[in-house]
Structure 1
Amino acid sequence: MDKLGVGRENGDLIRIFPVKPSSPSSFTILRLFVLLIVFIFIFNFYSRSILEDEENLNLRLPSQDSVSKQLPQKLSSEKLWEAPFSDGLHPCVHPTSRYQANQGGDHYITVRSNGGLNQMRTGIADMVAVSRMMNATLVIPELDKRSFWQDKSIFSDIFDEDHFIDSLKGDVRIIKKLPPDLVSVPRARKHFTSWGSLGYYEEMTKLWEEYQVIHVAKSDSRLANNDLPLDIQRLRCRALYHALRFSPSIETLGKKLIERLRSHAGKYISLHLRYEKDMLAFSGCTYGLSETESQDLTLLREKTNHWKVKKINSTEQRVAGLCPLTPKEVGIFLKALGYPSSTLIYIAAGEIYGGKTHLSDLTCRFPNLIFKEMIASEEELKTYMNHASQMAALDYMICVESDVFIPTHSGNMARAVEGHRRFLGHRKTITPDRKGLVQVFDKLESGQLEEGPTLRHLVQHLHHKRQGGPRNREGAPDGIRGRARFKAEESFYQNPYPECICASKHHQHE
């Protein structure tokens, strides 16, 4: 810019302000004035952004005074352990008056159940219902031996096979093996659609015109969560909660371990700590891990063929609430809920990734952590070693019977245990709001928040309706269309209310 108050742009002269000779002092004042305008603009812009961020968080931090007025400094012991109010509700799985006894049938369904223990359990319950709808005899399913856990167990190693067959004889005919004369006949090999309805399976009965045996390659998620006949929904509950009892040896040891936990402390929390290598690799969650550990998990994900998503943004996963809580986060969470450091916590999990290094962030707050190896002898566990599904069955029993159950991720076991506890009387199940907690933990990390009354208020406020109390099953979120909505609905096995949980005897037999 020259003395004429004219600037040049692309060779053309542009008048910027009226031409006047300016003294050094007036030029300095002008510069200060421009800087002031810029500063005010930046201040307003960032103030608005900060306010918008605070609104989006939905975590308006209360003052220390308001916190002390709203909450007692410590919750009473009774409040910490008591189950949600569910007066009058009770399990109801009896067939309705319209239900007809099993008619048998000369058609057969063979099944290969896929996944880990609880994925197989719910899949088997689904296949019982499918066999009923298709008027077929169910052959005892073959269990998955190719999953991440490489468990070679057969059905009778995990479940009481005779009890399973006998308890469902009024619903479905079940046999241990296909009749010899049918072993070599051609079978219809079928991938039944996910989230199938009654109409779909009635359509599938056309297969009987050409085949006597149908082989089902996958058992998980074969049935819709909703809009099935009441008797089919109750049959699913009878199959899962009554018929699929664990083998006598697992049942006996599981009850012993529960008694030992009770004799040690009376009450205990079961914590499904999904901080295991497979879970972290599958979800792509690396928060709090070293660079070497992160690369180790990425390598495992890339090498696992059936894990379809190979590139995952760990930060985005965590912010969306899709990562399991870390041991450190669990410790902060439990303390904020009000549980004392002396609380007995049973860890239901496989090997924790990073071992004692990562676990120490939890044990420093809650030293009374118990693993099954601490309450069972080497001799007692010898039979189950190297059989992940059998070990998971022991964990499942201990979790169902605990005073409080807390899952750190919403996987198959977490959903199955929550549903079973609801079925048995809405036992206390605290489901962490992982998306909300990430925002709280980040405030702690940045120094905007400290452990104390404000943190307790935030965490307890986030979870006062996440204690396992009675509620209707949730549908798909708004905006999801087509078949995707079926997958987005809450699992029937996570919340079998109202079909399998009744408020009166009239509803039980309707």
Structure 2
Amino acid sequence: MVQRGSFHPRNSSTVRFLPRKSSPLALTFQIFCIFAFSVFLFLLVYTRNSLEDEQMQQTFLPRKSQSQSQSQSPQRKVGLVPSPNIPDEQLWDAPFSYGLHPCIKPTAKYKAAINSERYMTVRSNGGLNQMRTGIADMVAVARVMNATLVIPQLDKRSFWHDSRFVSYYSLCFTGMSLITWGTTLVSVFSDTFDENYFIKTLRGDIQIVKELPKELETAPRARKHFTSWASVGYYEETKQLWKDYQVIHVAKSDSRLANNDLPVDIQRLRCRALYQALRFSPPIESLGKKLVERLRSRGGRYIALHLRYEKDMLSFTGCTYGLTDSQSEELKIMRENTNHWKVKRINATEQRAGGFCPLTPKEVGIFLRALGYPSSTQIYIAAGEIYGGDTYLSELKSRFPNIVFKETLATKDELRAFANHATQTAALDYIISVESDVFVPSYSGNMARAVEGHRRFLGHRKTISPDRKGLVEIFDELESGELEESSLPHLVQPMHLNRQGAPRKRYGPSPGIKGRGRFRTEESFYENPYPECICNSKKHSE
């Protein structure tokens, strides 16, 4: 039996583990080893975290920091060895999304729509994407003002050249798709959008009707130009019009709501309206999907290039680089004769140096090759008629022979229904661009912003936005002989690391601008609906 309290060191197995008294030198050495190992572990963890933080910062850079990082490009060197082939995943894969996903469900505070005897009629102005975002705004405005929305009329303006255009003095026949409203011609909603689906999808948000009740067709109405980039408070005040009118007519729909500082439920309603409810009409949707399938069957992956090298765009921006004197004069006359374009005198050289011009077809070709895309890449041209035709397109085709247009994908019979209906053909371009592996706009217009925003919403699909100002400097050095084309990848690729559609919060107003003018400088809500409609939680998922 073992007696409690007794202890025999020599017989105990624990004796061998008893520490021996260390010398001062050995103790110092042990402390030094522990310290060195701790430093090693710290540096290892710190370096890993720093790399991860750097990646996150590159993705979520604010506007000022991002522009600074882009301007610090490598020094230009002549005759650099061409960069090695870039892995396919780097060329084609979407940026890392950090688990972000669409979130457009209403919050718990959101209430279902109620019937209203107050009506809002809308004339939606501009081109296809200006009309689309304007309609989404009007859905939100109708919600704020407790109004029943009458299906908007779509504006058809001078450069959309629809086959159903007639002069203002033409008669309006019953059953035709064209009606007159004041001095502007408009087209019915169902020509471009799925009207019944639009009404059905938003029935929990607002009440929508196809036309005014008969008894209100001749009733007096308030004709209103809503303030641009207005707040919810503005529309709450505007509800005073209901005291005197039962119908409010909205003359313009574009940019009627602020980009920022709106309730999250209003922002998500805008996203539900644009990305869910405002579906194109069945014929457009059907053909658009067929064309995407044909592109895939031809070459698998493809770039959708929104090439804004069209006559009206070049005339409007005053960009004449690379054109002949007669072409430049033609664009100048066009600008002077277009009354609603306010700026008539434009310095084309300064405009291009400032990055305010669309890239030319040649410049786009050089840019894409510098990014690493091989000459075999399939490129779909999403655009109207290219100014100068094959004369300028040949400079793009020489670098990328696999160029595709609607006319080469669809049959004549398929396109006949859309002939001269520019809004509908633009809708086909929109579908193909949203579904592309990579989207590249040569200019930051309404189409480019709308497609980029939609692609962000769908999972931050790869969208490469050219740094036109930085590229112009490079192109000019290339043309003057200061640079060789083989050196371009080392300049162009670092310049565009943070311009490929990775997640980031929407830019606010430009610094130093005060008053209402600052709203114009904000990034469009529809260009980047993060964070209101893109989340990293499952609570309000799509």
Q: How high is the TM-score relative to the length of structure 1?
A: 0.86
Kindly indicate whether the alpha-carbon contact (under 8 Å) linking 2:74 and 2:490 is maintained by their aligned counterparts in 1: no
Is contact 2:78-2:482 (8 Å) kept?
A: no
Q: 1:504 to 1:59 in 2, by over 3 A?
A: closer
1:342 to 376, 393, 414: 376
Give the equivalent residue in structure 2 for 1:447.
481
Residues 142-167 of structure 1: CA deviation (Å, up to 9, x unaligned)? 10123421334421011000000000
Partner of 1:86: 97
Which residue, 332, 343, 365 being the options, matches 1:331? Answer: 365
CA contact (8 A) 1:116 1:147 kept: no
Residue 244 of structure 1, aligned match among 245, 258, 278: 278
**CA distance, structure 2, for counterparts of residue 423 and residue 77 of structure 1:** 24
Which of residues 253, 256, 271 in structure 1 aligns to 2:287? 253
2:7 alignment counterpart: none
- Assess if the C-alpha contact under 8 Å between 1:416 and 1:493 holds in 2: yes
Match of 2:75 in 1: 61
Note if contact 2:104-2:540 (Cα within 8 Å) is conserved in structure 1: no
Residue identity matched to 1:343: T
2:495 corresponds to: 462
Q: Which of residues 216, 219, 223 in structure 2 aligns to 1:189? A: 223
Q: Within the alignment, does 1:104 sit opposite 2:115 as a pair?
A: yes
Change (3 A) 1:447 1:390: same
1:115 and 1:147 in contact (8 A); partners too: no
Q: Conserved in 2, the CA contact under 8 Å of 1:114 and 1:147?
A: no
Map residues 417-436 of structure 1 onto 2, 5 A cutoff: 417-436=451-470
Q: Which residue of 2 aligns with 1:204?
A: 238
Could you say what secondary structure the match of 1:281 adopts?
A: helix
Correspondence for 2:537 = 504
Counterpart for residue 429 of structure 2: 395
For residues 209 and 189 of structure 1, what CA distance do their matches in structure 2 show? 14
1:320 and 1:63 map into 2 onto residues whose CA distance is 23
How far off its partner does 1:197 sit?
0.3
Q: Which residue of 2 aligns with 1:131?
A: 142
For 2:276 and 2:227, how far apart are their aligned partners in 1?
Answer: 26
1:166 to 197, 200, 205: 200
1:302-355 residue CA offsets vs partner (Å, 9 max, x unmatched): 111111111111111111111000000000000000000000000000000000
Match of 1:479 among 490, 493, 512: 512
Give per-residue Cα distances to partners, 1:277-323, cap 9 Å, x unaligned. 01000101000000000000011111111111111111111111110
Identify which of structures 1 and 2 has the higher relative contact order when contacts are C-alpha pairs closer than 8 Å and 6+ apart: 2
2-structure distance, mates of 1:298, 1:112: 30
Contact kept? 2:83, 2:489, Cα under 8 Å:
no
The amino acid across from 2:501 in the alignment is: G
Aligned to 1:146: 157
Partner SS state of residue 211, structure 2 = coil
Which residue identity lines up with residue 406 of structure 2 in the other structure?
Answer: K
Residue matched to 1:43: none
Deviations 1:252-277 (Å, cap 9, x if unpaired)? 10000000000000100000000000
Of 140-149 and 440-449, the range deviating more from structure 2: 140-149
* Secondary structure of residue in 2 paired with 1:270: strand
Q: Specify whether residues 72 and 456 from structure 1 end up closer, same or farther in structure 2 by C-alpha distance, changes over 3 A only.
A: closer
Partner of 2:130: 119
Q: Of the candidates 268, 285, 308, which is equivalent to residue 274 of structure 1?
A: 308
Q: Which amino acid aligns with 2:523?
A: E
Q: Distance in 2 between matches of 1:129 and 1:123?
A: 10
Aligned ranges 1:245-394 → 2 under 5 Å? 245-394=279-428
Partner residue in 1 for 2:39: none
Aligned-partner Cα distance in 1 for 2:151–2:490: 51
Cα deviation, 1:177-202, whole Å, max 9, x if unaligned, reads 01110010111000000000000000
Contact 2:107 2:540 in 1 (8 A): no
Q: Which residue of 2 aligns with 1:6?
A: none
Measure how far apart 1:105 and its partner are: 1.1
Aligned with 1:271: secondary structure? Answer: strand
Unaligned runs of 5+ in 1: 1-55
The one-letter amino acid of 1:460's match is: Q
- Aligned residue pairs total 450
How far apart, in 2, do the equivalents of 1:177 and 1:383 lie? 26
Q: 2:101, 2:541 within 8 Å by CA — same for their partners in 1?
A: no
> Any gaps of 5 or more consecutive residues in structure 2?
1-69, 165-186
| Inter-partner Cα distance in structure 2 for 1:104 and 1:464 | 50
1:229 aligns with 2:243: no
Residues in 1 aligned to 2:262 and 2:95: alpha-carbon distance in whole angstroms: 28
SS in 2 for 1:143: strand
| 3-state SS, counterpart of residue 436 of structure 1 | helix
1:108-134 Cα offsets, whole Å, 9 max, x none, are 000001000000000000000000000
Q: Percent same amino acid among aligned pairs?
A: 69
1:382-416 residue CA offsets vs partner (Å, 9 max, x unmatched):
01011000000000000000000000000000000
Distance of 2:471 and 2:383 partners within structure 1: 22
Q: How much has 1:59 moved relative to structure 2?
A: 5.0
Amino acid at match of 1:490: E
SS state of the match for residue 465, structure 2?
coil
Opposite residue 115 of structure 1, the aligned amino acid is G
2:335–2:341 contact (8 Å) kept in structure 1:
yes
Which region of structure 1 is more displaced relative to structure 2, 153-162 or 412-421? 153-162
- d(CA) in 2 for partners of 1:360, 1:409: 20
Distance 1:140 1:292, change over 3 A: same
Partner of 1:175: 209
Structure 1's 80 and 57: CA in aligned 2 closer, same or farther, altered over 3 A?
closer
- 1:202 aligns to what SS in structure 2? helix
CA spacing shift, 1:147–1:227, aligned 2, 3 Å: farther
Q: Which residue of 2 aligns with 1:42?
A: none
The residue matched to 1:121 in structure 2 has which SS?
helix
How far did residue 64 of structure 1 move?
6.7
CA contact (8 A) 1:113 1:144 kept: yes
Q: SS in structure 2 opposite 1:223?
A: coil
